[in-house]
Amino acid sequence: MKIKTRLLPLLVMLPLNAQADVLLIDDTPSIMTQENTPISGMSKQTVLQKYGQPSNKYTHSGKVTKRNPLISVWTYGNYKVYFENAHVIHTLIISSTPEPDEASR
C-alpha cells in the first residue's frame, strides 16, 4: 500500500500527451468589402437619395409582428441591401466569380 501512495504523485507529474487534427476547408467564404455601399442603420430614404432607385425590390409577404419585422431586399448592380422595417441591417456584395459546380469537387 505504501508503494501505491508513493507512486501516485509521480504518476500525476508525468506529462500527458494530447493529439489533435487540423481540418483545413478550402471552400470557406471570405468577407468582401466594397466602398460606397449602404451601411447598417441607414434609412430607406437616405439609401434612395444616395444610391438611386434599385433594379429590383423584394418585400417579404409574411405576417409582420414585433418578433417578425418587415424584411425587404433591394438589389443594386453587384450588391443587395437588406432592410428591417425602414433601416439597413446588412449589405451583401454579390461575388463576380462563378460558384463551383458539384462535379468539380
Architecture, CATH, for domain 29-99: 2-Layer Sandwich (3.30)
- What CA–CA distance (Å, rounded) separates 69 from 59? 11
Domain borders along the chain are 29-99
Residue 54's pLDDT is 96
Q: Looking at residues 42-61, what average pLDDT do you find?
A: 94
Alpha helices in 1-105 (DSSP H): 2-13, 44-51
Q: What are phi and psi of 83, to 5 degrees?
A: -115, 140
pLDDT by residue (tens digit) across 4-28? 777 777 777 776 666 777 777 766 5
- Kindly state the DSSP code that residue 15 receives in the 8-state scheme: P
pTM of the model: 0.61
- Asked whether 79 and 93 are in contact (CB, 8 A), the reply is yes
